[in-house]
Amino acid sequence: MQEFRTLSKILQFILRIFAPRQQQDEGAAKGMKITEALFAGSSTTISERPKQAFPEFAFIGRSNVGKSSLINMLCQRKGLALTSSKPGKTRLVNHFLINRNWYLVDLPGYGYARMSEAGKKKLRQVIRNYINLSPDLVMLFVLIDARHDIGQVDMDFLFELGEGQIPFAIIFTKGDKLGPTVLSAQIEKDKAAILEHWESLPPVFVSSAETGMGREEILNYIGQVLKTLQEENKQ
Ligand SMILES: Nc1nc2c(ncn2[C@@H]2O[C@H](COP(=O)(O)OP(=O)(O)OP(=O)(O)O)[C@@H](O)[C@H]2O)c(=O)[nH]1
Ligand SMILES: [Mg+2]
């Protein structure tokens, strides 16, 4: 069987057709259901990852952007991934086994200014090791706080993903913190900033761990990616 990452690279072009629509269509409501979410282990290098290989969907972004909260929201399990109002909470790569069939992966954050240089270096190593070497990483969700302009640290990270040909989608988080008009204006601004450097947009989602905004769309998207992977794997 081919590694999921290789399949994913072949498929990344095709997957653009699954980019979510602004308006949730009828099909989105019938998407992927999470029936079981189990903590499967923490690691700092890929050799320590859980032994059973399944497709991995990982969450990355600045420290405190809401990665762990989003995983809990998707699984509807508060406390599954540990969260904190203080940045720098997640320091390890945490795998959560979903429906005994695929993983959600919670990663440490980048760009936390107040951490020591040694601490930042260590976290960078943990993140890079996972992203560059995990054979089963299918898709990276890059989280961006919907309240702020996309920062240089985020742009630099996206460039790195482009260079490494790592498929990614963007999720704007904390969508509950802005009214609908300001929210969509900010997102349009961030999309325009991305398009200054990229020829096309990756799939884009808006989420809130508080209200559940974006849950159906993100799970539906993961479901479609998994289905496509399975079909490719059969050929
Ligand atoms: N209002 C609101 N608060 C959120 C949302 N998502 C996360 N938060 C809050 O933001 C803070 C950080 O959330 P985490 O999920 O721990 O963030 P993280 O990206 O995992 O942070 P690190 O592990 O430190 O990199 C917590 O106080 C959360 O309650 C959201 O959608 N809406
Ligand atoms: Mg976290």
Judge if the beta carbon of residue 215 lies within 6 A of ligand 1: no
Judge if the beta carbon of residue 63 lies within 6 A of ligand 1: yes
Q: Which ligand is nearest to the CA of 209?
A: 1
> Residue 7: what pLDDT?
60
Q: Which ligand is nearest to the CA of 144?
A: 1
Instruction: List, for the chain, all residue ranges whose pLDDT scores fall below the cut of 70.
Output: 1-3, 5-30
Q: Is the pTM of this model over 0.85?
A: yes
H or E stretch at 222: helix 215-234
Report the half-sphere exposure of 88 (CA within 13 A, side-chain side). 11
Q: Of 60, 62, 64, which is best to mutate to test ligand 1, by the most ligand atoms within 8 angstroms of its C-beta?
A: 64
142, 203 contact by CB (below 8 A): no
- What residues have CB less than 8 Å from 107, skipping those under 6 apart? 58, 59, 60, 67, 90, 93, 126, 127, 130, 131
d(CA 141, CA 67): 9
DSSP 72-106: HHHHT-TTSS---SSS----SEEEEEETTTEEEEE
Judge if the beta carbon of residue 94 lies within 6 A of ligand 1: no
> Residue 210: what pLDDT?
97
Question: Separation of 66 CA from ligand 1 center, angstroms?
Answer: 3
> Residue 11: what pLDDT?
59
Domains identified in the chain and CATH numbers: 4-10+28-234 (3.40.50.300)
Question: Separation of 197 CA from ligand 1 center, angstroms?
Answer: 28
Judge if the beta carbon of residue 173 lies within 6 A of ligand 1: yes
